[in-house]
Amino acid sequence: MADKLKDLKIKTGVAKRTWKEHLSYKKEYDNEKRKVEKMTSEGRDEYDLKKAQEVLKETESMISHTKSSFLKAWKDFQDVYNAAGNDDTLKQSKEYEEAQKMYDELSKAQEEDRAAQA
């Protein structure tokens, strides 16, 4: 049982961390995009603008990378969380309670993210 609790705690933490990382890159992308738009409107040096666009493109690629990392972590977390939900002893643990909160938060956050993209 201790192994299952440890696994649940780890998977919960990984899902939370990868989601935060994904959101961080999305925020950075928005900031970089504004920066490029500002540089363009100001007629900044072509070299500086090109470098800023490269940073924007890199950030964009990290968004898809972190999203796929999160989706893998989310699936792993769901598998462990659902298995723990079938064990009455585990359901009474602090780790399960924390996992349940995180499950609800991440489910809601993903729905909001999908709605914002639509």
- CATH code of the domain in which 23 resides: 1.20.58.90
Query: Measured in Å, how far apart are the chain's first and last C-alpha atoms?
Result: 42
The structural domain count of the chain equals 1
Q: Is the pLDDT of residue 113 over 90?
A: no
Please report, for the chain, how many H helices and E strands are present, in that order.
4, 0
Query: Domain range spanning residue 107?
Result: 2-117
State how far the Cα of 36 lies from the Cα of 54, in Å rounded to an integer.
Answer: 10
pLDDT of residue 17: 97
pLDDT of residue 28: 96
Mean pLDDT of 59-83: 95
Q: What is the DSSP-derived secondary structure letter of residue 118? A: -
Cβ pair 5, 90 in contact under 8 A: yes
Cβ pair 15, 70 in contact under 8 A: yes
Q: Is the pLDDT of residue 26 over 90?
A: yes
